[in-house]
Structure 1
Amino acid sequence: MSSSAVDTEAPDLVCHFDNVQGLVDAFTAVRWKRHQDALIELSEHGIVLIVEESGCLQAKVYLQRELFIRYEYSAQARPRFGVSLGIFVDSLNTFSVPGRLSTIELKYPGPDMQLLLKTVDSLDACIYAEIRTRIPDTISWDYNFEPAGSSPLSFTVKSAALKEAIDDLEWPGSSVLIALQPSPPSVTFKAEGHGDLQVDFMYYANTDLLISFHCDRQVSYRYKYKFLRATTSNIPSSVIRENRGSKLTIGRGGLLKVQHLVSVAKPSTSHTHIDSAGYQQPSRIAFIEFFVKPEEDSSND
C-alpha cells in the first residue's frame, strides 16, 4: 500500500459529543489517585474506559454510541490503547467553557497514533488537543462477575448517603465489613480500627435512602477501605444533585460490584422522568461500574 493511501485511510473512530462536562464527570468518577493510567477500548457499540489497581479493584466507564451526536466507526478489530487518565481529563476540561455549549470531535488514531480532540462548531477560535497514546502493557483483567446464587444479593442506596457512610467509616488501616440480612431487611457497613464504627441502612425504616433490597440469606464480606472508598470518592456533584441511586451487588466469592449512572445530556436538554433509583434515560447516561475483591474468602457461598 502506498504512503498516500495510508495517509488518507479512514481513522478507526470519529465521534462528536455536545456535553464535555458530562464526560469529565464520568471519567473523574474513576480517578482515585493523581497519576493513573487508563485503557480505552473502541467498538461499534461505543467507548469503554478501564482503570485498575493491584488486581483488587477495577472500574469501567461505558459510553454507548447513542451518547454521541455523530459516531463513525470503521475499524476491523476492536482498537485498544493506553492513555494517562489525568491528561485526558485535563484536556477535556480545556474545552469546557462556562456559559457556552460546544461540539467536540474525538478522533483516533492521528498520524502518530494520537488521540485527537478539537472543537467543530466555534466561529471565533478552534481548540485543539493531541494526547499521546501507548500500547497497553497488560490486558485488563476480566472479573467475570457471577451471581452469588439463584437469588440476587443487591441493594440500591442514594449515592449521597453511600458516599457519606463510606467517608465516615475511615479508620487507620481498617477494612470495612458489608453485611446483608433478610430479616429484618438491612445492610450494615462496619469498620474496625482503633474502635468500631457502624452504619445501618434499614430497608423498611427508610426507603428514601435504601431504595431497593434483594437478599434471601445472611452474608458478609470484608473489603479493604481504600478500595471501597475509591468507588465513591469522586461521585460527580450532578449525581448528588439529581438524587440518584447507586446499586451494589455481591457476586460469587464476595466480589462487589458498585454501579453509578452519570448524566451526559446537554444542560439545556429537558430530562425525561428519572425514577428514584436513577435507572432511566439510557441513551444519555454514562454507566460506571466498580469491581472490588474481598479481603479474604469466607464460607458465605
Structure 2
Amino acid sequence: MSSSAIDAEAPDLVCQLDNVQGMVDALSAVRWKRQQDAVIELSEHGIVLIVEESGCLQGKVYLKRELFMQYEYTAQGRPRFGVSLGLFVDCLNTFSVPGHSSLIEIRYPGPDMELLLKSVDSPDASIYAEIRTKIPDTISWDYNFEPAGSTPLSFTVKSAALKEAIDDLEWPGSSIQIKLQPDPPSVTFKGEGHGDLQIDLMYYVNTDLLIAFNCDHEVSYRYKYKFLRATTSNIPSSAIKENRGSKLTIGRGGMLKVQHLVSVARSSAPHPHIDSAGYQQPSRIAFVEFFVKPEEDEDTVND
C-alpha cells in the first residue's frame, strides 16, 4: 500500500521522538523477563505502556506528549492494543545509533492495525518497521492505590543504592520485609533464607542515600523477592549516572509503589527543548511506576 493510501486512513496517532535511546531505557525498565506482553494506551496526554504478572506486579511507563517533537492525536476515546514488549524494544534499538540522536516517527494504526515506526532524518537510508499488534487478553487490574493514613508512608533513596540493596538481599523464592519506623527514622530491608540479611537506611545519618522520609507510625510488609527485584533490575544506567532518586510509597493494605525518573532528553545537538544556556526543560522525563502487592502475613505490623 502506498504512503498516500496510509495517510488517507487518518491514524489515531502520529508522533515524532528525537531520543530513541531514552525511550528504550524507559521501556526496558519494566522488562523483567524475555517473553513479555504489554498493553499500550493512547490519549491526548501521551502514551502509557502497562505490563503485569500474576495479578501481583504491575509496571507502567508514562510518556507525556511533551516528550515528543510532534504529537498529533485524532482518536476518539483512548485506543488500547497489545504488543510484545521485547519486540517493541528491539525494533526501537534498530533506530538507535550511538552518539547520534535519531528522529523517528511512530504511527498507529497502520492498514492492518500495525504499529509503524520509521526514521525521518537520515539522508542516506530510511529504516522502517511494522509491529503486529493484538487485542489485549485482559483488562489491567485496578491497583486502587490509597494513602495509608494522613501522613504518607514514603521514602526516597538513590536509585543506585536501592538497586544494590535489593540485589544484595537475593533469596530466590523467598520474601523481603520492608519496615518503616519514625523513631529512629529509618527504613529496613530484611531477607530471610538460609540465614538473615538486613540492610538499614537511617535518615539523617545516610542523607546522601536516603534523601527524603515520611512516616508517623511503624509499618512492615513482606513482598516476594522476584517481584521486588523486578522494580529495580533494569533501572537505566542514565538514572544511575545522573544520581537520580527513586521514591517508594506504602499505601493502604501494604500496596507498594515504586517510582523512577528516566531522562528522555536529547544529548547531542541543540533542539527546541534546550535553550541557548543549555537549560533542559523538566518535561523531558519519562515516569516509570511499579505496583507490588504484599504477601499475606499475619505477623506483619499493619496500619
The normalised TM-score by structure 2 is: 0.93
> Unmatched 5+ residue regions in structure 2?
none
Larger mean CA deviation between 4-13 and 79-88 belongs to 4-13
1:267-278 aligned at under 5 Å gives the runs 267-268=267-268, 272=279
The answer on 1:210 being equivalent to 2:201 is: no
Change in 2 beyond 3 A, CA 1:59/1:135 = same
What is the identity, as a one-letter code, of the residue corresponding to 2:151?
Answer: S
Structure 1: state its 5+ residue gaps.
Answer: 274-280
Matched, 1:300 2:285: no
Counterpart-to-counterpart distance in 2, 1:231 and 1:17: 26
Displacement of 1:112 after TM fit? 0.3
Change (3 A) 1:11 1:300: same
Normalised by the size of structure 1, how large is the TM-score? 0.94
Match of 2:74 in 1: 74
Q: Cα deviation per residue 1:194-222 (whole Å; 9 max; x = unaligned)?
A: 00000000001110000000000000000
Aligned length: 291
Given that residues 29 and 233 in structure 1 are in contact (C-alpha distance below 8 angstroms), is that contact kept between their aligned partners in structure 2?
A: yes
Deviations 1:152-195 (A, max 9, x none): 00000000000000000012321000000001100000000100
Residue 121 (structure 1) shift: 1.3
Q: Deviations over 1:31-60 (max 9, x none)?
A: 000000000000000000000000000000
Q: Whole-Å Cα distance in 1 between the matches of residues 158 and 31 of structure 2?
A: 21
- Residue of structure 1 equivalent to 2:138: 138
Q: How does 1:212-251 map to 2 (within 5 A)?
A: 212-251=212-251
Question: 1:85-164 maps to which residues of 2 (within 5 A)?
Answer: 85-164=85-164
Matching residue of 1:197: 197
Cα 1:5–1:34 shift into 2, 3 Å: closer
Alpha carbons 1:172, 1:194 under 8 Å: kept = no
Q: Which residue of 2 aligns with 1:257?
A: 257
What letter matches 1:245 in structure 2?
G
Question: How far does residue 99 in structure 1 lie from its aligned partner after superposition?
Answer: 2.6
For residues 173 and 6 of structure 1, do their structure 2 counterparts lie closer, same or farther at Cα, with a shift above 3 Å needed? closer
Report the CA distance between 1:282 and its aligned residue: 3.5
Distance 1:5 1:95 in 2: 25
Q: Quote the sequence identity (%).
A: 82
- Equivalent residues of 1:259, 1:289 under 8 A apart: yes
Give the counterpart letter for 1:264 in structure 2. Answer: V
Deviation at 1:5, TM superposition (A): 9.5
Report the CA distance between 1:8 and its aligned residue: 1.6
The alpha-carbon deviation at position 102 of structure 1 amounts to: 1.6
Q: Deviations over 1:87-109 (max 9, x none)?
A: 00000000011232221000000
Q: Once the 2 structures are TM-superposed, how far is the Cα of residue 272 of structure 1 from its aligned partner?
A: 4.2
**Partner residue, 1:28:** 28
Letter in 1 for 2:60: K
Q: Retained in 2: the 8 A contact 1:157–1:246?
A: yes
Do the aligned partners of 2:13 and 2:107 also contact (CA within 8 Å) in 1? yes
Aligned partners of 2:237, 2:13: CA distance in 1, in Å?
A: 30
State the alpha-carbon separation in 1 of the partners of residues 189 and 99 from structure 2.
41
Which shifted more, 98-107 or 76-85?
98-107
Aligned partners of 1:20 and 1:155: how far apart in 2?
31
Answer yes or no: is the 8 Å Cα contact 2:19–2:102 preserved in 1: yes
RMSD: 1.6
Shift of 1:296: 1.1
